[in-house]
Structure 1
Amino acid sequence: MLYAVTDIETTGGYASANGITEIAVYIYDGQQIVDSFESLVNPHQPIPRFVQSLTGITDDMVQLAPSFEEIAPRLFELFQGKVFVAHNVNFDYSFVSHQLQQSGYHLNCKKLCTVRYTRKIFPKLASYSLGNLCRHFEIPLYNRHRAAGDAKATVQLLELLRKNDVNNHLHTMIGKQSKEQYLPLHLNKEDIDQLPLTPGVYYFHDAKDKVVYVGKAIQLKKRVTSHFSNNKPTKQKQEFQRNVHRISYQQCGTELMASVLETIEIKRLWPKYNRAVKGYEAQYGLYLFEDGRGYYRLGIDRKHKNVPAVYQFYSRHEGTLELKRLIQEFELCNKLCFIDRSTDRSCEHPQCKGACTGEELPTDYNERVEQAVAQLRKELPSFAIRERSYFNGQDSCILMEDGRFYGMGYVPAGFDVSMKDELRKQLQEYPEYDFVRNIIKRYALDQPEKVIWL
């Protein structure tokens, strides 16, 4: 077996917007280096000053160096049929494969990360950085943060690891079925292996154990693994790979429960890499107030944080249509509902009985407004969704009361969910969000056989 031990220096941390400034590849056959390639590379973009300080590679040094496209044929030839080896392999591989693809070549190699390999052979070391490992194992390391120096040290580290690999971890790590090399550098494979194949919510934690991403799954193990099935060169993907250090999870009885809990947890934790659900809330409300003349007024307005709305809508148009329906059905005044904004004293609409001009008494008009509001609230349903739980032998149950999400949990198979007071005691109460409400209502429409109306 031949290993292409590789190290690169770059202009930045992710491949899609940065370039390679230096590359070194040593072909190692398990005993000795049998071929090699070293070169500075012109990235055709400025090298940031802090990178120049770290590597010692300046813009002047790479000005006359070949572009990656010029050396791509030689590199592609070197990598063919080899195991691509690097210290933190996903970083180097993402750059090299991206640059080769830009040059018209498709790289498809087995990968081996010497950080992960070292953890297998020598667990519980204080640090797995290349510099600290070289000091610990007394491996010579010349020209630190230069491609050739780091790659040569990685060859010697690989040799040391192979000699001490009494359990043949190498064979497992680069085997056809192994996906370990795609995992984030700091995430243990054991964390993935112990995940159940049931619905649930999973949490990715960073180095400080802060949750940076929350997701939901029909099968936890399968979904989490899918996050790392590719190594895209984008900034978000590369940042994500670097920042994931640990995974935790909560099992859920059903996919619906997982969807609800995911939204609640995103709202609670506000993770860095979750975006879509954060801003998905109803933006408008139907508001009721009494004016100076004693008439009740209904109107659509943007949601007010501390003023409860009679009803909520995702758009002004949706709210206006609903208000017009109430006006028609309960003979309300277009002017008093802010539908007719003309300067005329009378709204001149046939259903209006003169409230806008004072011809109809406030008590008579207000009674119909109250009827309209009561009708609207009556249309807000109370129901439970009951399903068999995947993992604990009980039934999952989600409760909606008067159109609002109350909570969810588990009940014994013979429990009568129509007893609302008793049902509440069995469930955990959760915060109520528009997005959660929408998920549950949509599910109730799609799965009416699982809905118990209360």
Structure 2
Amino acid sequence: MYAILDIETTGGKYNEEGITEIAIYKFNGHEVIDQFISLINPERPIQPFVANLTGINTEMLRNAPKFYEVAKRIVEITTDCVVVAHNASFDYRILRTEFSRLGFEYERKSLCTVELSKKLIPDRESYSLGKLVRGLGIPLSDRHRANGDAQATVKLFKLLLTKDLEKKIITETVRTETKKQVDNKLLRLIEAAPSATGIYYMHREDGKIIYIGKSKNIKKRLTQHFTNDNIKSKRIQEEVADVTYEITGSELVALLKESEEIKRNKPKYNRALRKSKFDQALYQFTDQNGYINLTIAKVDRKKNSITTFTNRQQARSFMHRWIEKYGLCQKFTGLDKGKSNCFNYTIKQCYGACIGDESAEEYNTRVLELIAKHSFDSKNMIILDRGRDIDEQSVILIEEGVFKGIGYFNLNHQINNIDILRSIITPMSHNRDAQHIIQSYVRQHKRLKIIHLKES
């Protein structure tokens, strides 16, 4: 659990500043579940340059509560939370100073989004909150006011969690927050999980990830894990201490992240899923008469395939659909081994390429259309899918046929700048598994929005 906050102060000498405004958003890693926003009477003068910067003046604070009047609420909303702020050392020091004046020892774990940004989003011109979030396409209003800056920090931290491929933020937090085991441990973990699409991470007590999975309903999937009585499930039930999760909105994003993170983290109970999820591929060759032939065969990593399939039955099923859709010949797709015309020519569903009635040029036009539709080769495009919230979309970026990564953007802030698009993308590995996942998903979900980008 995180308490993402921003504080405005009076300015002045070190450790003599007073708080003029505070905004705290309690964030569970996915959504804000509580918030506290208030002006505060600092009982000391505001430096003129600070008043000009924030717009907060003494008159505005005359009837505002004093710090001791809101201290209890601040303690409550930040209990069992890691304090997150942009330049956390400053905000955390100010809070500790104010509580110290009341004779209260305020201690929390803290994370700094400046330091995290430098690690996870390197080579930015500036890491000031304003310039950083604008460069990432994150909306920012009421700059230098606690609420505006805290809201922007929430969105920035959400992006940083997505870009934290090593899961160091989550692992450290789990290690900090792990509680003593209780009899109803598994029930507690199920109750805390969302009924949403995403990926989940099972941790043992020291924070180490022991299992990664994806589901369109995380709560339902955890219930299955924790009620199954097979050997693997029982071992997981005994060892798991906590479950963290990442809502993706998009099942495609969840599939890609699951594949990537299993390879990256190598959880002990995911051994079977580290292998490739496909073994059949579609290849092409041109015969002596100039006709492009398509053939299904076992995956050969030395050859370039058009697309891949989970198994041969799935491959043949799609091939039958494509023969009908594109008017292709069964002989030139390997489904008819006869020596004369194919069966489809007999029922007027083949134009006669198999017996030379249709020219290679005419036939190949339709074959190339199929290949262009289902191959990534040299393509520049983005795939848009559901986001984590109703006003958000997920985006998958492919450049020159290479899968670059995933990201999210707000529907109210359309991303039409390729540089901003690249900056919000969490880089991911381009490999045969990722390519298979994307191609397979696109084949089966025809309503996906795909935008082809112009070459730069």
The structure that has the greater radius of gyration is 1
Which category describes the TM-score, using the shorter chain as reference length?
Answer: 0.3 to 0.5
Query: How high is the TM-score relative to the length of structure 1?
Result: 0.41
